[in-house]
Amino acid sequence: MRQHRIGVIGLGKIAQDQHLPVIAASEAFTLAAVSSQRGLTAPGALAFRDAGELLRGTPGLEAVAICTPPQARYAIALQALQAGMHVMLEKPPCATLSELAVLEAAAAARGLVLMTTWHSQYNAAVDAARDLLAGQTVAKLFVNWKEDVRKWHPGQAWIWSAGGFGVFDPGINALSIVTKIMPQPVYVTQADMLVPANAEAPIAANLRFGGAGDLRAEFDWRASGGETWEITVQTSAGTTLLLSSGGSKLTVDGVLTVEAPSREYQGIYAHFAALLDAGQPHVDAAPLRLVADAFMIGSRTAGEAFHD
Ligand code: NAP
């Protein structure tokens, strides 16, 4: 198997929890360099404080994974593509749809691989749900995605600022499952968002989707008694699918059908390696489009200030 020399940009929570260990265990990738504004390092890799320095200073670099907050991703990704690198974008891939379109065109013009990563899509239970729903009509969809922001995003100021997505930062994971499994087009017709008085992004949001049936989503960051990451789908034929634990478990009509340990990032890196070997891009804007539409047509209610 060909080894790809990769750099990781932004050594925050997801880079440390997933990208670095998965690369270290991968036969397809070698960690050539990291860049960290705070000066963090990784064993065996060159270390830089700036993405531009990493791109210029790493011999034989082929690709980068950009693990910064979404607001910083576009400028770094464009710089990387202009330097001739293949690019993996953490989710959400950019702060806007237009940014993603520019990156897609820039990658295509240079024959480079651009990959959007929607980690929740890399679950066997999600694939099984998609296969079961193929050709069916959905009568009911309910996304119930609730967690405690203090537990999952402590001290992350960027999630509350414009372009930080607020509760859609986890919510977009659910939407990435929805866009993968639904046998019919999914589009937002109504969004109601609750925005803390001291924030620019919502702490809770309810969505309605168009088309026949009762299709809804609820996202809430104020759940203190544990997290709920569930998607229920009922078909017009009467079958009920429940994807739970963030998409890692599938129950069909009350019977547990698929349950597998999480290997989302192993799946992401295996997919990236296959794309690099084939010279093929993978850009999926659908989950980002749903969130963009929610922000476009949604109503905003001001809530009480939120403090970490
Ligand atoms: P985080 O812990 O806040 O880490 C982001 C890191 O990016 C920072 O620690 C900083 O690292 C770097 N950074 C921040 N601002 C930057 C800027 N303006 N320019 C360049 N680098 C900057 O956030 P995270 O939880 O890892 O999330 C990062 C992305 O991964 C988000 O888009 C998030 O949705 C996604 N994600 C997170 C999780 C999760 O469980 N946390 C899961 C899946 C995906 P340095 O100081 O090292 O540069």
Q: Residues 242-277: pLDDT tens digits?
A: 999 999 999 999 999 999 999 999 999 999 999 999
Which of 11, 14, 91, 291 best tests ligand 1's pocket when mutated (most atoms within 8 Å of CB)?
14
Of ligand 1's listed atoms, the one at least distance from the Cα of 172 is: 34
The pLDDT of residue 1 is above 70: no
Give residues with Cβ within 8 angstroms of 10, minimum separation 6.
35, 36, 37, 66, 67, 68, 69, 72
Are 279 and 112 contacting, i.e. CB atoms less than 8 angstroms apart?
no
Q: How many alpha carbons lie under 13 Å from residue 267 in its C-beta half-sphere?
A: 16
Tell me how far apart the alpha carbons of residues 134 and 173 are, in angstroms, rounded to a whole number.
Answer: 21
Name the residue with the closest Cα to ligand 1, atom 22. Answer: 68
Note the pLDDT tens digit of each residue in 151-199. 999 999 999 999 999 999 999 999 999 999 999 999 999 999 999 999 9
Verify cis geometry, omega within 30 degrees of 0, for the bond prior to 170: no
Cα angle, residue 186 at apex, residues 77 and 126 outer, rounded to 5°: 75
Mean pLDDT over the full length of the chain: 97
Measure the CA–CA gap between 299 and 286, rounded to whole angstroms. Answer: 21
Quote the ligand 1 centre to 156 CA distance (angstroms): 9
- The candidate with the shortest Cα–Cα distance to 122, out of 289, 274, 265, is 265
Class of domain 121-260+293-303: alpha beta
| Phi-psi category of residue 85: left, alpha or beta, with phi > 0 → left and psi -120 to 50 → alpha | beta
CA-to-CA distance for 46 and 83, rounded, in angstroms? 18
In contact, 233 and 209? CB cutoff 8 Å:
no
CA separation for the pair 266, 272 (Å, rounded)? 10
CA-92 nearest atom, ligand 1: 32
Calculate how far, in angstroms, residue 70's C-alpha sits from the geometric centre of ligand 1.
8
Q: Which residues contact 225 (CB under 8 A, 6 or more apart)?
A: none
Answer whether 11's CB lies under 8 Å from 34's CB.
yes
> What number of other Cβ atoms are within 10 A of residue 154's Cβ?
10
Q: Tell me if residue 146 is catalytic.
A: no
Portion of the chain with pLDDT greater than 70, in percent: 99
Q: What is the pTM of this model?
A: 0.98
pLDDT digits (tens, 9 = 90+) for 2-60: 799 999 999 999 999 999 999 999 999 999 999 999 999 999 999 999 999 999 999 99
* 134, pLDDT greater than 80: yes
Q: Do domains 4-116 and 121-260+293-303 have the same CATH topology?
A: no
Q: H or E segment at 299?
A: strand 299-303
Per-residue model confidence (pLDDT) at position 308: 85
Beta strands, E only, 23-122 = 29-35, 46-48, 63-66, 86-89, 114-116
Which atom from ligand 1 is nearest to the alpha carbon of 49? 48
How many angstroms separate the CA atoms of 119 and 91, rounded?
8
Residue 301: is its pLDDT beyond 80? yes
Output the pLDDT for position 225: 86
Q: Tell me how far the alpha carbon of residue 39 lies from the centroid of ligand 1, in angstroms.
A: 14
Ligand 1 atom 18, closest CA: 72
Q: Find all residues with CB under 8 Å of 300, minimum gap 6, and list them.
A: 193, 194, 195, 202
Q: Ligand 1 centroid to 9 CA: how many Å?
A: 9
Judged against a pLDDT cut of 80, whether residue 126 lies above it is answered with yes
Residue 13 CB–ligand 1 contact under 6 Å: yes
**11 burial type by CB count under 10 A (0-12 exposed, 13-18 middle, 19+ buried):** buried
Q: Which atom of ligand 1 is nearest to the CA of 169?
A: 34
Dihedral sign from CA coordinates of 243, 244, 250, 255: negative
pLDDT at position 170 is 98
CATH dotted code for 4-116: 3.40.50.720
pLDDT in tens, 91-104: 999 999 999 999 99
Closest among 92, 107, 87, 102 to 9, alpha carbons compared: 87
47 lines ligand 1 (CB under 6 A): no
Give residue limits of the domains in the chain.
Answer: 4-116, 121-260+293-303
Residue 52 CA: distances (Å) to CA of 33, 80, 277, 281 = 12, 8, 25, 23
Catalytic option among 91, 146, 180, 249: 91
Q: Is the CB of 151 under 6 A from ligand 1?
A: no
Q: How many angstroms separate the alpha carbon of residue 238 from the centre of ligand 1? A: 42
92 contacts 66 by C-beta, under 8 angstroms: no
